């Protein structure tokens, strides 16, 4: 039986339950075969609400991402970058009991204070693309950001990421992390490290990763481009001529059909809308492709190079390592409600 609002009710209660509480109650009710009416953003009183089934909400949000953002706009690289920059502020030295002081995947990047960090230049557009979906579904910002990234990877041909959902959002800008926790691409590095390999280890070891994870995650640069007017890591700006792979009329998806994208910037790979192991197969001698100091470190450092070569030799090996590292990155610093998280098939 479905619960209904009392006669004459015209609006949700003044202090409705958070989507996380509602989702947990609804999930328990669903297990008993009960359908509940519940509050959700934009839901009228008496409406079963968008939070009646948390798995269905996440599935619907995922389909909306594909239909409204990924396929028409080819925004895969931007959404991956957004999720990484939300997660990548994590510091494992901060106890979980002090959440959200450790940073990580908690949705804080949606706030102007964090979007204003130099490393996040251009990511306000990603938040704008996600906002209409956030309005329609009972999904936290932290979940939506990570869902968008995992969906983008898979939709571009990459592996399915074993994700959990139910992340709790930070509430205010005051909970945003300090600037300077994300990895830099070129010297001078934030903490004065002498070289890119040392810098990468300092940043990723702080989050709990090892050398093989660092190289696997670097392989996500098979997607996307860098721009002079965003990260500053490439000589080409957005909207400009670009390179042979990023100029108007290029084929970044590797097919003969036209594809919508904003030209310009410089890519790491020729097919920069395809997730594969091509990042590991290119050479520094290719003038039209981007090779940052951090890229060269994964190619040349002796410990990094073992993984680099293994991923070049086998896409399956890369996908297995990447999937595990991405899943771990997506949960750094997250607080889940329910604690065990929500799994979506």
80 φ/ψ angles, rounded to the nearest 5 degrees: -65, -45
**CA atoms within a 13 Å half-sphere pointing along the CA-CB vector of 323:** 16
How far is it, in rounded angstroms, from Cα 322 to Cα 188? 28
Q: Is 205 exposed, middle or buried (0-12, 13-18, 19+ CB in 10 A)?
A: middle
Is 71 part of the annotated catalytic residue set?
no
Tokens representing 199 are: 């810098």
Q: What 3 state SS string does the chain have?
A: CECCCCCCCCCCCCCCCCHHHHHHHHHHHHHCCCECCCCCCCCCCCCCCCCCCHHHHHHHHHHHHHHHHHHHHCCHHHHHHHHHHHHCCCCCCCCHHHCCCCCCCCCHHHCHHHHCCHHHCCCHHHHHHHHHHHHHCCCCHHHHHHHHHHHHHHHCCCCCCCCCECECCCCCHHHCCCCCCCCCCCCCCCCCCCCHHHHHHHHHHHHCCCHHHHHHHHHHHHCCEECCCCCCCCCCCECCCCCCCCCCCCCCCCCCCCCCCCCECEECCCCCCCCCCHHHCCCCCCCCCCCCHHHHHHHHCHHHHHHHHHHHHCHHHHHHHHHHHHHHHHHCCCCECCCCCECCC
Q: Give me the catalytic one of 15, 71, 76, 85.
A: 85
Counting every residue, how long is the chain? 345
Residues annotated as part of the active site: 85
């Amino acid at each position: 039986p479905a619960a209904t609002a009392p006669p004459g009710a015209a609006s949700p209660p003044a202090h409705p339950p958070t989507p996380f509480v509602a989702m947990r109650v609804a999930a328990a009710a669903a297990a008993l075969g009960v359908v509940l009416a519940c509050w959700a953003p934009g839901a009228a009183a008496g409406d079963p609400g968008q939070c009646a089934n948390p798995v269905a909400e996440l599935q619907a949000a995922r389909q909306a991402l594909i239909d409204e953002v990924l396929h028409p706009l080819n925004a895969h690289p931007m959404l991956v970058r957004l999720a990484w920059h939300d997660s990548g502020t994590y510091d494992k030295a901060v106890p979980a009991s002090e959440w959200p002081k450790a940073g990580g995947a908690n949705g804080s990047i949606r706030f102007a204070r964090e979007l204003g960090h130099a490393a996040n230049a251009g990511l306000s557009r990603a938040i704008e693309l996600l906002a209409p979906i956030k309005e329609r579904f009972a999904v936290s910002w932290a979940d939506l950001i990570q869902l968008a990234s995992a969906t983008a990877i898979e939709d571009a041909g990459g592996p399915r990421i074993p994700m959990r959902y139910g992340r709790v959002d930070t509430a205010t800008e005051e909970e945003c992390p300090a600037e300077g926790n994300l990895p830099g691409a070129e010297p001078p590095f934030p903490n004065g490290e002498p070289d890119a390999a040392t810098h990468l280890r300092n940043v990723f070891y702080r989050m709990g990763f090892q050398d093989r994870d660092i190289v696997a995650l670097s392989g996500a640069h098979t997607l996307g481009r860098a721009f002079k007017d965003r990260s500053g890591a490439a000589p080409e700006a957005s909207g400009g001529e670009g390179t042979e792979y990023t100029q108007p009329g290029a084929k970044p998806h590797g097919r003969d059909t036209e594809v919508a994208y904003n030209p310009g910037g410089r890519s790491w790979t020729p097919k920069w809308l395809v997730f594969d192991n091509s990042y590991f197969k290119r050479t520094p001698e290719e003038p039209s492709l981007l090779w940052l100091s951090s890229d060269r470190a994964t190619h040349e450092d002796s410990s990094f190079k073992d993984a680099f070569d293994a991923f070049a030799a086998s896409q399956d090996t890369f996908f297995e390592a990447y999937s595990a590292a991405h899943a771990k990155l997506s949960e750094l610093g997250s607080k889940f409600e329910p604690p065990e998280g929500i799994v979506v098939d």
